[in-house]
Amino acid sequence: MNESKQPFTDHVTRTKNSGSSRAGWIVAVLMTALAAVMLGLWTSARTQHQQEMDALQSQLDETRSDLANANGQNQTNQSAMAALTNQIADLQKQKEQAVQSSKSLENEMRSELESKDVTISKLQGKLTVNILDRVMFDSGEAVLKPDGEAVMQKIAAILKEHPQLTIHVIGHTDNVPIRSNAQSKFASNWELSTARALAAVHFLTERAGVDPHRVGAVGYGEFRPVADNSTPEGRAKNRRIAITILPDEFTTPDVTPPPSAPKDNSDTNAPATGLPAN
């Protein structure tokens, strides 16, 4: 017979071999599963790491961009600060030049004009030349005397060297009323003071060559005295022509003529009691 001579031992052997084979498969499956898990974990970790790297790279690029923008803004700010510094320096220089020019004008006025009949004063940036009427006009008249013309010519010569200045010519009288009669040319001291201011303006602009756009005439009559009208000496001081000289920034003209506008003498005379003509 071909039957095994050890039936019992053969059965045990086959059982052991079958169990070993099954255990091997289980181990293989477990190892494969473990490998798959490890691979999944590694892949997930690598993906997460790549995402973190990408995020870091994005932040780095953004930071670089912000730094570049900040550098550009800083350059712009530095340029603006440099421009402002230069502007401040220029304005300071202009201020110093204006102060020096004003001082030079005052000294020149005092040197050329100051006398017992012509006084110079300066208040709040305004330089004023006060001329008593006995030098300028006969009593009750508004026609310049030769001595008055000589004073106005000196003033014009100085003013033409300072074309940036504006000139107000102001007429004043004492408080003695003008007599109303057939020979009277003026209805009141207002008309007389204004006519005298205009006479000075006409001389400055038409005969002495001062730009009429710089000049204006005002008449205050008896209402702005500088001395006591109860005495002859006080009344003599109140009868005067005041020429006030001031920089353009102290003036507020209503209308500025266009640069190309032709000069027309018929339009350059200031109104009788108005502010300076442009």
Domain boundaries, the chain: 9-97, 114-256
Q: How far apart are alpha carbons 180 and 208 in whole angstroms?
A: 34
Q: Answer whether CATH 3.40.50.300 is correct for domain 114-256.
A: no
Contact yes or no for 273/190 (Cβ under 8 A): yes
166: β partners: 246
Q: Provide long-range contacts, Cβ within 8 A and 24+ apart, for 225-233.
A: 225/172, 225/174, 225/175, 226/130, 226/172, 229/174, 229/175, 229/176
Tens of each residue's pLDDT in the chain, 278 residues: 455 555 555 555 555 566 667 777 888 888 888 888 888 888 878 888 888 888 888 888 888 888 889 888 888 898 898 998 998 988 888 777 667 777 888 899 999 999 999 999 988 778 999 999 999 999 889 999 999 999 999 999 999 988 889 999 999 999 999 887 656 789 999 999 999 999 999 999 999 999 999 999 999 999 999 999 999 999 999 999 999 998 765 555 444 444 444 444 444 344 344 433 33
Give pTM, 2 decimals.
Answer: 0.61
Look at strands 215-219 and 165-172 and give their pairing: parallel
